[in-house]
C-alpha cells in the first residue's frame, strides 16, 4: 500500500510511505463466538472509518 506524502522528508518534500498489511482472521467461528462478536458490535460505538474524511 502506498501512502503518498507521508514518508521520510527530503529536500524535495515528504516522500511516500509504503506499508505492507497482513490481516489474519480466525479460520472459522462457532455460533457462540459469532454471538459474542455481534454483542461487542452492538455495545461499542467505535467507528474505524470515523477519521477517513468521507
The tens digit of pLDDT for each residue in 1-54 reads: 999 999 999 999 999 999 999 999 888 889 999 999 999 999 999 888 888 875
What pLDDT score was predicted for residue 2? 94
The predicted pLDDT at position 48 comes to: 84
Q: Encode burial over 14-51: b for 16+ CB neighbours within 10 A, e otherwise.
A: eeeeeeeeeeeeeeeeeeeeeeeeeeeeeeeeeeeeee
pLDDT of residue 49: 87
pLDDT score, position 31: 94
Amino acid at each position: 500500500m502506498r501512502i503518498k506524502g507521508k514518508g521520510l522528508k527530503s529536500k524535495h518534500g515528504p516522500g511516500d510511505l509504503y506499508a505492507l498489511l497482513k490481516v489474519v482472521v480466525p479460520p472459522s467461528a462457532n455460533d457462540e463466538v459469532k454471538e459474542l462478536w455481534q454483542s461487542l458490535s452492538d455495545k461499542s460505538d467505535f467507528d474505524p472509518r470515523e477519521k477517513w474524511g468521507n
